[in-house]
Structure 1
């Protein structure tokens, strides 16, 4: 049986960093979708929409996932780590106890397009050592069938496992492209929070008369029901590209302020003190 679509959230235009224009779903109208904290899509071929980038800023208590579709973004942190995000690449950063980093465009013009997703960490892992998983396109399994393309970033699809390792919320993250009229089905663990975000085109999600149309820049929450663990999609006449994300909910209190996500306000205040005193 297929999961049904609950809420459909329209991406709202906003900006972050130094004026980077983006569309926000989670973290905006939908405040939290446990364990997901934020989902932004940035897409523009106007340099002024992205050239300011995201100068140096801190994080603590969660993970960020940056998925690049087009363009080049350089990452640097306060410990001297540096990396380049290229078309098709993914960076999975665990901020843990604290990281100070920047994400800046490495292009002067042309299309910049990608998504950033934030995942919460459980209390016992919030102060873990920071780490990165920088994943080049060739390390991401890509299944092509019937004109469809499914990239497995995290989790499994058809018994093939994605390259992301050691994430405590046991996530599934698939980058799915379907040809016009083609279908897609995948099982999601019962109890896991799941959503789809449509990047291009449209598709119906759900089964038969329960299916709902989801369009570009919309996020659909896939309801968790005890006997329904499949995701079913049928692409519209122009085809579709979407992200499918699922993960185990944490079910803990969330205290959040700017770049810090902890369990209590006291921990947020401590994060600010540690950052300001150079303890990151």
Structure 2
């Protein structure tokens, strides 16, 4: 766990040369942020995605070197596809209030890593919600229960924000061949019958070699909350350096050189409007 007076986060990173077992995701930070923590920084080769939980006390002021500038509200999502390079910055709108967020790093296919960067934004009111017996599922990305997120993203990904009342159970089908994992957010959660306490921040993962057709979540000891991720693995190498990740060492070296030569742009660019869906 990363910890400071204004920032604490549980961090998950893919292991192995291709990011298994969470490919196409490279990493997730489940974070609480109450003051600016990170100066403007570059990204290249993947998508930086911010999802704010509904219990966030304030939003995130988001801007990038493409000229996008918007507020990510509690319950909203912002997707920055860095492609060949972008400079990005986010910080809480109201000082002293806490943002409760997921910072998600989603890999791009090798051919998309050289594409021009762009951004997508999803307002809280546009996130589909599926109500069940003692369950409520928000669908910021992908599909579930007949609901489909309006975002069309460069890497296909399902993200479900799941609330379970005491004793409730939810079955989530998994597309054959997809990876899937669950992040407990609070409470006691059972995943396919195995108990996970949030205090341990266990992250049950389902490797590619294990055939998974469904994930059954339940709340055996009071209300619980979890996030489920599922996606089609890219199965490509990942070479990291700081906030850049490419599919080859040559591409990574090229991205670093491009940033050093100012080719990612700056945050002083004229402000334009982010694409909203």
TM-score, normalised via structure 2 length: 0.86
SS in 1 for 2:204: strand
- CA RMSD between the two structures: 2.2
Q: Which has the higher strand share?
A: 1
Matching of residue 117 in structure 1 with residue 101 in structure 2: no
- Aligned partner of 2:9 among 22, 26, 37: 22
The alpha-carbon distance between structure 1 residues 29 and 227, as it changes in their structure 2 partners (threshold 3 A), is: closer
Q: 1:79, CA displacement in angstroms?
A: 2.6
Aligned twin of 1:4:
none
Q: Is the 8 A contact 1:252 1:263 kept in 2?
A: yes
Aligned twin of 1:244:
228
- Aligned partner of 1:182 among 144, 168, 187: 168
SS in 2 for 1:218: coil
The alpha-carbon distance between structure 1 residues 191 and 179, as it changes in their structure 2 partners (threshold 3 A), is: same
Distance 1:74 1:92 in 2: 14
Distance 1:221 1:227 in 2: 12
Q: Is the 8 A contact 1:74 1:84 kept in 2?
A: yes
Aligned twin of 1:38:
27
Q: Is the 8 A contact 2:18 2:236 kept in 1?
A: no
The alpha-carbon distance between structure 1 residues 271 and 156, as it changes in their structure 2 partners (threshold 3 A), is: same
The alpha-carbon distance between structure 1 residues 179 and 122, as it changes in their structure 2 partners (threshold 3 A), is: same
Which shifted more, 140-149 or 27-36? 27-36
Structure 1 alignment gaps of length 5 or more: 1-11, 45-49
Q: Is the 8 A contact 2:141 2:148 kept in 1?
A: yes
Q: Is the 8 A contact 1:190 1:225 kept in 2?
A: no
What are the superposed Cα offsets for residues 125-146 of structure 1, whole Å, 9 maximum, x if unpaired?
Answer: 1011211111111000012222
What are the superposed Cα offsets for residues 166-189 of structure 1, whole Å, 9 maximum, x if unpaired?
Answer: 433x21111000101100001111
The alpha-carbon distance between structure 1 residues 29 and 87, as it changes in their structure 2 partners (threshold 3 A), is: farther
Q: 1:42, CA displacement in angstroms?
A: 1.1
TM-score, normalised via structure 1 length: 0.85
Q: Is the 8 A contact 2:7 2:32 kept in 1?
A: no
Q: 1:14, CA displacement in angstroms?
A: 4.8
Q: Is the 8 A contact 2:141 2:160 kept in 1?
A: yes
Q: Is the 8 A contact 1:194 1:222 kept in 2?
A: yes
Matching of residue 214 in structure 1 with residue 174 in structure 2: no
Aligned twin of 1:135:
122
- Aligned partner of 2:45 among 61, 78, 82: 61
Structure 2 alignment gaps of length 5 or more: 265-277
